[in-house]
A and B are shown apart, each in its own frame.
Chain A
Amino acid sequence: MLQPSQIEQLMRCQTLEELFYALRSTTYEPLLEIYNESGDVQRLEAYLLHRNVQLHLDVAKYMKDLHEEAVLALTRKLEVENLKSVIRLWFSNTVKHQNIDYRFGYLFQDRIVADIDWTKIVNAERFEHIIDALSHTPYAKTVSTFTMEQLAVEGLFALETALDRTWIHELRIVVSHLPKIDRELTEAVLDRDADLKNIINLVRFGWMYQLPGNELRMLMLEGSDVVGTKEFEAYLATKPAQRSVEKLVAKLFPSLSRQLRESGKTTPEEQTSMVEHYLFVVRKRAFHAMLQGDPFTFGTILSYFFLEERQDAMIRTLINGIHYGWDSTNIREFVL
């Protein structure tokens, strides 16, 4: 892991070359060679995804039986993200008739967990071919409920959120078979994540995009306490413009409710950003607690993935921030 002094040094870099020079002798050293060879920022992002997938698969190799399955189930998150990206490209090309040119080259094209023919998906003439390409994967049932005509009219939003829910569902099934201590620990993390992600979706789609209550309900991730509350039902029943996030979280997350109230931030964008930050802080605290606790639980692996994911996100932010000429204060704000 990068040390705080190294991170501070990275944030002072003004060009990508300096950033990669500062990352010598770290696990991110290959970025320097990739950039020297290609000058292509998107290839760097592709490498970071590749690295993350490899890291998950390496951890899985060290596990056995149920724990290996659990790590692979976590890895499916990266698979789902990649699948969504490939389907988005297909959608742009085949449905929207836009030129996707070389963009497929930046996506992950090897096996992650399931045996998916990515090339077949991006080149599919009809959505049925995608369903066929995913027929032997956990996503088969989910994608088969959509049609090309439906996607052409409604877009990919429903499909993408359905894939997210499928991943969570599959993960929960695997986690339910873990030994008691690992199961309880992982489920606690998943429940909290589900709560906060649902709140983010309720703010973003229920308030910002003003989705009706029944559609919002469809978006909810399983295992969330928020969904069972009176406040949730009241939120759905309220007219989109009058929905109050503060009231929604008042009972389950009083500190978040207080922060929202005291921040003076009233726009949906600001409130979404606050909830996202709250989620990040809560997760960080939970993972740090796990690292300080019993080292021989699944929590250590969850924490490791969390810390690596956070570090990758930081490097990605630095690369994009420097490449697109963001202000150094903005970069610092995003990174920290």
Chain B
Amino acid sequence: MNVFTVPMKLLTAVVLDEATEQVKRALLKLGVLDFIQVSHLAPEQASRFASAREQEEPERYTNLRARVETLFMQASLVAPSTEKLNPDTMQQIDMGRSKQLVDSVANKVTAIREQQKQLSQNRIRVEELLRYVKNRQNTYVDIRIGILEKGSVEQLRSRLANQAYVLLQPADWNDLVLLTLKRDRQQVAPLMQSLNWIENPDGMKQSAAMLLLEDELEKQLRQIDATNAEIKVKISEKVHEERDKLEQLWCELRLHELMGEITENFSHTRNTTIFSGWVPLASAKELEEAIRDASNQACVIEWIDAREMPREEIPVAVEDVPLLRPFQKLVDNYSVPEYGTINPTPFVAISYLTMFALMFADAGQGLVLLLLGLLGIRYYRKNPQGRKKLISADLSRLLVYLGGASILSGIIFGSYFGFSWLPPLWFDYHGAVIGHEGANRDVYSILGITIWFGIIVIGTGLLLNWTNLIRKRDYFHLLLDKNGIIGGWLFGCGVWAAFAFVASGYKQLPEGLFLPLAFGIPLLILLTKVPLHRYLAKKHGHVIEEKGLGSIMLDSVLEWIVDVLEIFSGFLANTLSFMRVAGLGIAHVSLMSAFAQMADLAGGKVAGILIIVLGNVMVIALEGLSAGIQALRLNYYEFFTKYFTGRGLLYNPVSLRSHAGRQVLNRS
């Protein structure tokens, strides 16, 4: 596995106009070229190039594709897989007919929606009546119990059609029961009179009628829901009827969109087409062959090595390692590494998991996280376009790792749902926190472990930074930056002095000349930073502001003060920050112990088990979240700041594969 970003090469190709279409298809099929405008490479020649001759208008295709996707969504269909996109079988799109197809399906759906709207209005009527009946708000409703002397029940129903009402004929009753809103009395009363409604004077029937009405209204609500579900099925069916055509259209539209994107990056002379772009070194040969084949060898191809181009202009791709994808997301959320530097993903995977495991060391609770993650993965596999839940697909995958790490650390520290059911492999974390660990470990030992862990993480960050600076040939910052060799040396000496001070019982620092010299010499060297920077800048021909000796000395001292403060306070704060790992681990144990004591106080049995179960649920939810966030924070602020500048440019080739902004190279 390559721990650095993928090496890139810059391609510039000239092909004859007649081969342009074939070349476009070949480029799209391969999908590895991140285009740049040729005029950018040769600005002095820009005026000689003409841009795209036939305007493909990719927007037209994008809009229609969005409409097709909307139809898919209404039928809970997933857009066709990118595997179905084949540039070789691509055909011209008759936009008029395609629009007609989409319009016709959309219109059918809209017509069905009208029924749904009426159902929605009916729901409002039923809900309002049910609310009044349930809350016995009789002041807002009229309940009539009686018979019709003239006309039929159907007549009554048809005349009440525009009102909120319920009309019942209970099985054992001779009377009808009619529920209407009191506010509709002005409209209801005359029509009741016209049908000669005779009210039953038996007031006892009112409360029985109320219960019947409540049941009826609830039944009506269920019916509305069922009808609505049927309507949604009908909508889905309408889209399914044209599914094949729509899928085919979607594929064609997507292909035309991508071809349009490629066309936009083509420049032309009278008879030739010129294009340029970045490609991963590993794909360069394949790309060259594809262009040569597509153009029948009638092409000129020139390669430029990435080293000849400014680093900040080279797009960055990283190798896709499926196992590390959840951690790649964590890195992507932060930023893009600079070209040629270390890809932080594998290091983040190790540090993130270790931090989480130290804060959430429980094999039982880890197993719950693992199962949650597996369930999440299963759910998203079954519903690839399903609504996002609280736990997303990415988080599900991450939970599997975090669960695994917690299981491992739980076994190491002998913790299972807060109990020591099996002996620990290393030491009893619970015992150390509570104060009865066999090997005389206590909370200070845990704090010490996490500080050592912090030193290792920061030290690794510095080593990665030095590697990056060597690769960038930035020897000035390698030596004099706060995260360079001088900063690292001072950090190392600081660690050594601090541990010696602790070992002396917090009484004295190491004696002798070594410590003053170890701190003094680097600090003196640091004073040369400003003049040296000016000298090097001048040597490399950069324009620098002219300054007198006094001014340069003043700058040097000011910069030195800032650097010294940053080195000493920064490294100290960074290291102590890792104590939060111990803090959360201790809090985790304390909470579980508290729940265990509460369970004992409750007398064990069912109540005790319930307390333990609820306690575990609470700890998994709150501590799990907290540990996840703190581990992320430590990575972002204590680890990344040492070596990850995040100044990279995204590698974004025109490709058939869907990608979200950042394209990672697949090893296969």
Contacts and interface: CB of A to CB of B under 8 A. Distances in A.
Q: Do A and B bind each other?
A: yes
Interface string B104-136: 001001101111110111111101100000000
Contacts of A154: none
Contact of B106 (A12, A17, A37, A39): A17
Nearest to B128: A105
Nearest to B63: A12
Contacts of B597: none
B70 A123 contact: no
Interface string A111-153: 0000000010011010000000000000000000000000000
Contacts of A104: 124, 128
Given A17-B106, A93-B183, A99-B187, A39 B74 contact: no
A187 to B, nearest CB: 42
A269 to B, nearest CB: 32
A21 B73 contact: yes
B299 interface: no
Contact of A106 (B109, B115, B124): B124
A123 B140 contact: yes
A100 B183 CA distance: 9
Contacts of B232: 36
Contacts of A12: 63
B228 interface: yes
A40 B116 contact: yes
B192 to A, nearest CB: 16
Interface string B88-118: 0000000000000000001001101111110
A40 B127 CA distance: 16
Interface in B181-195: 181-184, 186-187
A105 B110 CA distance: 23
A101 B140 contact: no
B163 interface: yes
Contacts of B668: none
A40 B120 contact: yes
Contacts of A125: 182-183
B56 interface: no
B113 A39 contact: yes
B67 A102 contact: no
Contacts of B184: 93, 99
B182 A123 contact: yes
B257 to A, nearest CB: 14
Interface in B467-526: none
B69 interface: yes
B114 A123 contact: no
Contact of B109 (A14, A17, A101): A17
B164 interface: yes
A45 B408 CA distance: 53
A102 B109 contact: no
B573 interface: no
B183 A94 contact: yes
Contact of A38 (B71, B120, B163): B120
Nearest to A129: B139
A18 B65 CA distance: 11
Interface residues of A, number: 29
A39 B118 CA distance: 9
A36 B387 CA distance: 13
Contacts of A21: 66, 69-70, 73
A99 B186 CA distance: 9
Contact of B124 (A9, A14, A97, A102): A102
Interface in A44-81: none
A223 to B, nearest CB: 39
B490 to A, nearest CB: 38
A22 B117 contact: no
Contacts of B73: 17, 21
Nearest to A43: B120
A15 interface: yes
Contacts of B182: 123, 125
B271 interface: no
Contacts of B110: 15
Contacts of B123: 38
Nearest to B232: A36
B162 interface: yes
Contacts of A17: 70-71, 73-74, 106, 109
B162 A99 contact: yes
A44 B512 CA distance: 78
**Secondary structure at chain A's binding surface: helix, strand, loop or mixed?**
helix
Given A12-B63, A15-B110, A123 B186 contact: no
A27 to B, nearest CB: 15
Nearest to A14: B67
A21 B73 CA distance: 8
Query: Which of A43, A94, A97, A123 has the most C-beta atoms of chain B within 10 angstroms of its own C-beta?
Result: A123
B66 A22 contact: yes
Contact of A40 (B63, B70, B117, B187): B117
Contacts of A18: 66-67, 70
A100 B187 CA distance: 11
Interface in B148-166: 162-164
A15 B70 CA distance: 10
B163 A101 contact: yes
Contacts of B121: 40, 101-102, 105
Contacts of B139: 123
A99 B160 CA distance: 11
A164 to B, nearest CB: 26
A28 to B, nearest CB: 15
A320 to B, nearest CB: 14
A119 B162 CA distance: 20
Contacts of A9: 66
A11 to B, nearest CB: 11
A123 B70 CA distance: 41
B183 A122 contact: yes
Nearest to B114: A39
Interface in B168-184: 181-184
A90 B139 CA distance: 16
A12 B61 CA distance: 12
B67 A101 contact: no
B124 A15 contact: no
Nearest to B112: A39
A241 to B, nearest CB: 40
A42 to B, nearest CB: 8
Contacts of A38: 116-117, 119-120, 123, 228
A145 B73 CA distance: 54
Contact of B127 (A14, A99, A105): A105
A22 B73 CA distance: 12
A9 B67 CA distance: 12
A122 B67 CA distance: 41
A4 to B, nearest CB: 15
A39 B122 CA distance: 13
Contacts of B115: 39
B66 A101 contact: no
B387 to A, nearest CB: 8
B337 to A, nearest CB: 26
Contacts of B116: 38-40
Nearest to B67: A18
A43 B187 CA distance: 26
A100 B124 CA distance: 12
Contacts of A14: 67, 106
A22 to B, nearest CB: 7
A328 to B, nearest CB: 12
Given A97-B187, A101-B164, A102-B128, 7 more contacts: A17-B74, A39-B112, A93-B183, A105-B124, A119-B140, A123-B140, A123-B181
The 9 nearest A-B residue pairs measured at CB: A105-B124, A39-B116, A39-B113, A38-B120, A40-B120, A102-B124, A21-B70, A102-B121, A39-B117
10 contacts: A17-B106, A18-B67, A38-B123, A40-B116, A93-B184, A99-B163, A105-B125, A119-B137, A123-B139, A125-B182
Interface of A: 9, 12, 14-15, 17-18, 21-22, 36-41, 43, 93-94, 97, 99-102, 104-106, 119, 122-123, 125
